[in-house]
Structure 1
């Protein structure tokens, strides 16, 4: 798991470094790849390292605050990663089906940046508020000591609603 985290961090750091160093890579479509690399870098640099001891020992030893932070970041970056892949696919679709108008907008990165921001906001809104506020809405925490999972995980109504997204 450590090698997986290291490979994820190094690979995505190289993508980010290439984007920053090579001006020719700064195209509208490649901004979406940068956004994907940022999301995946956070998976490898934050989410996986905090998950490793939990998997190995079977207990969450970092407390409830770190548990919530880890859950919010994990759900956020994994969802943002998926949304970025959808955004990249849509961008490639538009570049093929509307090639002339797509090329005419070549230098317009403002729309790309707005789409990237939307990805992160939508990814957070999908799970973040539920993870943060579930125990307050339910007026109690059902999370046993030494465990770390989203409290709506065993609520079939919420799990069903979340799975539709």
Structure 2
């Protein structure tokens, strides 16, 4: 199981694995980040007043072909800045987009598959690799991807 801890340390060195359950196809881990303070995403002030906690289910890159699901215990905090419009906020993670259900590194792997094959074939490949998503999800990743603006070779365009 040392591979697993290294796998999550690459994701975030502050992650603590509370428990893991393995079956033939899936590795499910309950993880948390122990933090005594939170930083408001809007005014960037630091606070130590905790509001509550809740669980987020996050998919990550597979380990040895097995799907990895993280049950992340995330915390909510009160903003200590009286001038800030945000009263309660959720802690942010660099490896996870707000409201996201997949890690950024899993999204990047899925995006690579989506751009390198048809999305129907890509969905089959993702199931075989332990990161199952539908072809519609792969299409959404393609549409969300910002493409560089190219300059037209023609005059006046």
Q: Higher helix proportion, which one?
A: 1
Q: TM-score of the superposition, structure 2-length normalised? A: 0.30
Q: TM-score of the superposition, structure 1-length normalised? A: 0.29
The structure, 1 or 2, with the larger RCO (C-alpha pairs under 8 Å, 6+ apart) is 1
Q: Higher strand proportion, which one?
A: 2
